[in-house]
Amino acid sequence: MAEKIDRKQVRKAAKLARLELTDTEIEEFTGQLGAILDYVEKMKELDTENIEPLAHCLPVSNVFREDCVKESLGTEKTLANAPQRDEMFFKVPKILDDNSGA
């Protein structure tokens, strides 16, 4: 049996995720995370020796189209419905301030 998760570990995980949890939420999540870990531990009992690993549970295949060269729309058609433009470019509102570091 796996080691039980405790309130201290839940608090640490919440801090790392930058979540502020109440004592009630910590108690609730301690139980829920414990149940998840118990389930994972139970899955270890399964015999997976001859089971091929899967990336997806359903048979899927790529649905990509052929990569072929086509004529572009051109600047005027592309910018025709732009709310704002600056000559040949889309004009968008500034989203980063000077202190953003970007």
pLDDT along the chain (102 residues), means of 10: 82 95 96 94 90 84 85 92 92 80 63
Neighbour count for residue 10 (Cβ, 10 Å): 22
Task: Note the pLDDT of residue 84.
Answer: 92
Task: Note the pLDDT of residue 102.
Answer: 60
Distance between CA atoms of 61 and 38, rounded to whole angstroms? 35
Task: Note the pLDDT of residue 69.
Answer: 92
Quickly tell me which residue has 């839940």 as its tokens.
10
Q: In Å, what is the CA distance from 40 to each residue of 19, 20, 26, 93, 98?
A: 25, 27, 21, 47, 47
Instruction: Return the CATH architecture of domain 7-43.
Output: Orthogonal Bundle (1.10)
